[in-house]
Amino acid sequence: MVAYHVFDLNPVVSLLLNLTLLGVICWSLFNIEKKYSNGNKFVILGLLAITGITGRILMSPIPNVQPVTVIVLLAGIRMGAKESIFLASVIALFSNLILGNGIWTIYQAAAWSIIGCLGALFSNKLDTSMKLILFAGISGVLFNWFVSVSILHSVGFDMLIPYLIVGIPYDLLHVVGNITFMIWLSNPLTEIMSREIENNLNFEVNEYEPKPF
């Protein structure tokens, strides 16, 4: 019996397949959202979480290039701190079920939460696309350095600085990735996150006029 599933994929090919899958999931997801959600914030949060989880898992062949940082940052800015904390924790946990769970999960959740909260805190100031892009870049370094602190569980403080220095090219990847994702996702995600509930409360209240006695 030939094992059809056992063959070695070129990493570039497998990355392209991953990206195709990610594209299909996002495209269908966001089209469905338009059809059903009517701006219900809870539905939107679920949809953003799924996008973050699948995005992180499917882009994992490229280290540090993933949409999660930008998603939680935008969620913090457009929706609020609590929403971004929820997204950060859920995305960290569920993507790590595939990518590997460990002590770093709590650090990743915390780091993304902090980025989301900073976004919420400075939401009034982050009003131009240039500022958003700059902040996305900074978040990349902030996230990596925060998560790096988790190595102190296994090695001494002396190792932290060499560890951070080794990581700088990876920080660069995160920064460039974040900037790209911010440029691409800022408008569509802002549109979805800021959508007001339109049809749910359609009780035609305005047309009700009490009859005079």
Partner 1 sequence: MFENIGRKHIISVVILVAVIVAFPQINKLWLESTEEVRSSLITSENNTHYGLPSEWENTQVICIHFPIEDVTSNMTASNFTDGITYFDVSGSEILINESSEALVNYSEGRDSGVCVGGFENYTAGFNFMLEATNVTNGDIEIGYDDGEWGPYIHTIAGLNANDLTGNFSGAYWSLYHNGITSDVGIGDLVMLENSVIVWEIATW
Binding residues (CB under 8 A) for partner 1: these are 30, 62, 65, 156, 158-159, 162, 165-166, 168-170, 172-173, 176-177, 179-180, 183-184, 187-188, 191
Q: Which two tokens stand for residue 110?
A: 């915390």
C-beta closer to partner 1: residue 83 or 171: 171
The answer to whether residues 76 and 33 touch, using CB atoms and an 8 Å cutoff, is no
Amino acid at 123: S
C-beta closer to partner 1: residue 10 or 202: 10
The answer to whether residues 150 and 108 touch, using CB atoms and an 8 Å cutoff, is no
**H/E/C letters for each residue in the chain?**
CCCCCCCCCCHHHHHHHHHHHHHHHHHHHHHHHHHHCCCCHHHHHHHHHHHHHHHHHHCCCCCCCCCHHHHHHHHHHHCCHHHHHHHHHHHHHHHHHHHCCCHHHHHHHHHHHHHHHHHHHCCCCCCCHHHHHHHHHHHHHHHHHHHHHHHHHCCCHHHHHHHHHHCHHHHHHHHHHHHHHHHHHHHHHHHHHCCCCCCCCCCCHHHCCCCCC
C-beta closer to partner 1: residue 30 or 145: 30
**Shortest distance, position 57 Cβ to partner 1, whole Å:** 18
The answer to whether residues 93 and 81 touch, using CB atoms and an 8 Å cutoff, is no
C-beta closer to partner 1: residue 121 or 131: 131
**Shortest distance, position 4 Cβ to partner 1, whole Å:** 30
C-beta closer to partner 1: residue 82 or 145: 145
**Shortest distance, position 189 Cβ to partner 1, whole Å:** 10
C-beta closer to partner 1: residue 11 or 102: 11
**Shortest distance, position 9 Cβ to partner 1, whole Å:** 18
**Shortest distance, position 170 Cβ to partner 1, whole Å:** 8
**Shortest distance, position 90 Cβ to partner 1, whole Å:** 23
